[in-house]
Chain A
Amino acid sequence: MSKSVLSGKGVTKVFGLGDKKTVAVDHVNFKFSKGELVSIVGESGSGKTTLVKMILGLLSPTEGDIYFMGKKRDIRTRKQKREYWKGIQAIFQDPFSSYNIFHKIDSVLMDCINMRGGSHLPRDEKIKMITEACGFVNLKYAELTNKYPFELSGGQMQRLMIARIFLLKPQILLADEPTSMIDACSRATILDMLLQCRNEVGMTIIFVTHDIGLAYYISDSVYIMEHGKFVEHGTADQVILSPTADYTQRLINDVPKIHAPWDFAKVASTVSAQA
């Protein structure tokens, strides 16, 4: 068993106080090893994004500890946070709001190199690195230079996000529904690039999604989340092909499939049962 890069013990987040409190994430334990592609699957409101924010350090957990590279994470000061973010990076759902609209693409990518301690490099060197990163995601640097992020399409922006990750080479990449806002055709490209990133750079990818089919396609192991708790986890084949938890079974049942189409007469019974 390889060493765990990121693990959590009893991670909890509670919003609100007293009667109005909501337990968004409820005593969650997890362990992600190096080079693994893990999916966290759950419906909206299951606490996926809260967990992601806690892992990223944007929210602090109410209870529980997160361990990064075997050590307990300590990100109380700004300096510690910056150091932490060198090892952990994220791609978000909405590519249009992920960029600072006042910064040109060149400076977005240049910042990545500076952040990894490449600020002393000559400009030519930097541009060479950027061109390589753009090539990795099938974008042409010559076409991007002097442009603002909003001049690109959603798929291109998401690819540029991956180019950033390629330059930064973090140990962990958190991908929070990176493909839900782009259409099915460009989705294949994005998934492919994430897999390539994993294989070439060797980073751990945590893929958060509500699409169980996507999770099955891309990941090595899958965590299923319901109401802030992990109800099931195991290898992708295990969880998707022979699910044990009721919730997982219902989730898989509700996804449209092509080899076992829905029987609407059966759906009727589930509706009346719920109503």
Chain B
Amino acid sequence: MGKAILEVRDLTTKYITRFKEDVYAVDHVSFTVDEGRTLGIAGESGCGKSTLALSLMGYYFSPLYYTGGQILVDGRDITNMSPDEVRKNVLGTEVAYIPQAAMNALNPTAKIIRFIEDVIHAHDLKMSKKDIYDLARERFEILNLPSDVLQKHAVELSGGMKQRTVIAISTILSPKVLIADEPSSALDVSSQKLVIKMMYDLMRMGYIKSMIFITHELPLLYNVTDNIMVMYAGQIVESGTAKQMVFDPVHPYSKGLMNSIIVPEEGTRDVKLTAIPGTPPNLKNPPQGCRFAERCKYAQHLCHTSFVTMRRFGEVDPGLLGGEDEGDAVAERNRAYRCIVPIHELKAAYAEEDAARRRDKEAVSYE
């Protein structure tokens, strides 16, 4: 596909608490977002989704500190810039960030056009008021927003309109990456769809090159994004295409997460929802091995001491598992069963429950 717009390598950021304790909320995170692609980040509350979004801006302020790694926006590293430089040359023009509940932060005493003037003046662009107004009106019309919104105050707008206005304001300088943190969680379903549609339009028309979408609503994520990344306790546990992650997740945590999906479609009532027991670990002193081991029903003692990497069963060379004549049968089995703990000294653990459930399903469908 296209070239990488955002490349993150081993990014680590920490919070320093009042008691001078380090909390690594983003821990060695690496990923790439290609041009024209949307990346979704999923996870429970407190898993570090929003901190990751904050860190990606390259603009750190107390109590969030940068400790290591690189963020390349279109090939340029933004981590070694001074805060002023970041504010002038990165925010708004390269990376735009829409925080959670941004629509509630619009100053009620100012007209919408004032915010757009603010954005443009903050980047030292010499533009007359008339030029700014024309630019804003043109952009608003393209995005199906009525242009009289510009002369209104924030309190006169409905929730969905406010959110769409916020998105339009933050992308007025055509940034390369748009990071949206829960852009639609406070809206009802029809305005949510319009907001998403607008972000999609921005992408299609080339005003933004790629998008990072953060939400805990998984069906929404599935509809909006190309790739989904699941975060847990500051680390990425699994990533893949949206389809793969929703219908065929590998990691026990992603599985648990995908089990909590509720949609108004046939079959929803037949599946019993299962919650993941327990709570996420305290990041002040994170567990030594796999961070999910405490809550994982497949955990083995190895998981508690060292970090095991996840691997899809099909990725393992089938030749390693059986004789040549068995090859096909093994490959067939690989597709049906999924490996939970990767091969360690050629011992494999199967998710027996999963296999059993699958067999049941198959039996039902054959009937």
Taking Cβ atoms with an 8 Å cutoff, the residues of A that contact B are 43-44, 153, 182-189, 191-192, 210-217, 236-237, 240-241, 250-252, 254-262, 264, 267-268, 271-272, 275
Contact = CB atoms under 8 A, between A and B. Distances in A.
A214 to B, nearest CB: 6
Interface stretch (B51-59, B83-91, B186-194): B186-194
A262 B279 CA distance: 33
Contact of A256 (B159, B197, B263, B275): B263
Contact of A275 (B144, B189, B217, B222): B144
Q: Report which residue of B260, B264, B265 has the largest number of chain A beta carbons within 10 angstroms of its beta carbon.
A: B264
Given A217-B262, A241-B266, 16 more contacts: A43-B190, A44-B159, A182-B45, A184-B218, A185-B257, A187-B275, A191-B273, A192-B275, A210-B189, A212-B189, A240-B264, A254-B193, A256-B223, A257-B223, A257-B264, A257-B265
B246 interface: yes
Contacts of B194: 271
Contacts of A272: 144
Given A217-B262, A258-B263, A275 B146 contact: yes
Interface string B195-237: 0110010000000000000001111101110000000000000
9 contacts: A182-B45, A183-B45, A184-B261, A210-B188, A213-B264, A217-B262, A258-B246, A259-B263, A262-B193
Of the candidates A185, A241, A271, the one having the most CB atoms from chain B within 10 angstroms of its own CB is A185
A271 B44 CA distance: 32
A233 to B, nearest CB: 16
Given A261-B223, A268-B197, A43 B188 contact: yes
Contacts of A275: 144, 146
Interface in B256-312: 256-257, 259-266, 268-269, 273-276, 279
B199 to A, nearest CB: 10
Interface of B: 44-45, 144, 146, 159, 188-190, 192-194, 196-197, 200, 216-220, 222-224, 246-247, 256-257, 259-266, 268-269, 273-276, 279
Contacts of B218: 184
B136 to A, nearest CB: 17
Contacts of B197: 264, 267-268, 271
A256 B247 CA distance: 15
B192 A254 contact: yes
Nearest to B197: A267
Interface of A is mostly: helix
A44 B266 CA distance: 25
A153 B262 CA distance: 23
Contacts of B220: 256
Nearest to B221: A256
Contacts of B217: 184, 256
Nearest to B184: A256
Given A216-B268, A264-B200, A257 B279 contact: no
Contacts of B262: 187, 211, 213-214, 216-217
Contacts of B200: 264, 267
Nearest to B246: A258
Contacts of A250: 190
B156 to A, nearest CB: 16
Contacts of B268: 213, 216-217
Nearest to B247: A258
Nearest to A211: B262
